Structure 1
């Protein structure tokens, strides 16, 4: 399917375990993304930034494109909403740039082709997960720890149920 078969592309990006110190100043992320030598090559027409104690919301609007970023430093979580009606704009470049800047432990992207005029196949979004190496190590360590606890419980249980006959 080519871009001419559908109207636009909508990507929802969830970033978990982001570097909190990088999330405090949301405007820095905007400068990083949209500077002249930045990774996002669009001419921004308007921006909106709203900051509270526990949330930063930023939106950038360009011709046929919008990007909305929600930062939650207390949860080390970021949600990015990207809609592109422009075949020149590559949404995955935004995802790579956000990953580079926020350094999340885990990222999930859901992509939806909007306005597919030829079929209804776009009704089910495709979701991809990417887990960092550190997160994989932590998960493996936890599994090993849990397995060790199960073995220890098994040994203790068998000792309690043994009779006094025979060697240990």
Structure 2
């Protein structure tokens, strides 16, 4: 890895609608996915929307995992950001995809904190 961390932006489609709308289930699989990836869970916060949908965050020592679900569209937007090389964010994404019973998942990995040549890094100001 070149940089401080890896950030996976996942689009998880064709999921089980009931599971996407179950706050306790979503919280459970998010925590489990962090642990399966080798992360250390610090804090957890989830919210159930009315009439549907769940949003949540799992704060890990290595950064965070987030989710927002649209049960009516069978869709979940997921971010997994990990710092260091010990935790593999793809393990967490794949675990969530499996347990949401998704038929499709697309994801992009973004390297975060890349400092190829620190001397050439400039601070941009809008002042």
Q: What band does the TM-score fall into relative to the shorter chain?
A: 0.7 to 0.9
RCO higher in structure (CA 8 A, sep ≥6):
2
Q: CA RMSD in A?
A: 1.7
Kindly report which structure 2 residues correspond to 1:74-153, keeping only aligned pairs within 5 A, or say none.
74-118=72-116
- Tell whether 2:40 aligns with 1:6: no
Work out the CA distance in 2 between the residues paired with 1:19 and 1:82. 21
Aligned with 1:97: secondary structure?
helix
Task: Tell me the TM-score normalised to structure 1 length.
Answer: 0.62
CA distance in 2, matches of 1:27, 1:86: 29
More helix by share: 1
Query: For residue 34 of structure 1, what is the aligned residue in structure 2?
Result: 31
Give SS of 1:79's match: strand
Unpaired runs of 5+ residues, structure 2, are 118-127
Q: Quick check: which one's strand share is greater?
A: 2
Question: How far does residue 27 in structure 1 lie from its aligned partner after superposition?
Answer: 2.2
Stretches of structure 1 lacking an aligned partner (at least 5 in a row): 120-168
Q: In 1, Cα distance between the equivalents of 2:94 and 2:88? A: 11
Q: Which has the larger radius of gyration?
A: 1
Find the aligned partners of 2:110 and 2:94 in 1 and give their Cα distance: 18
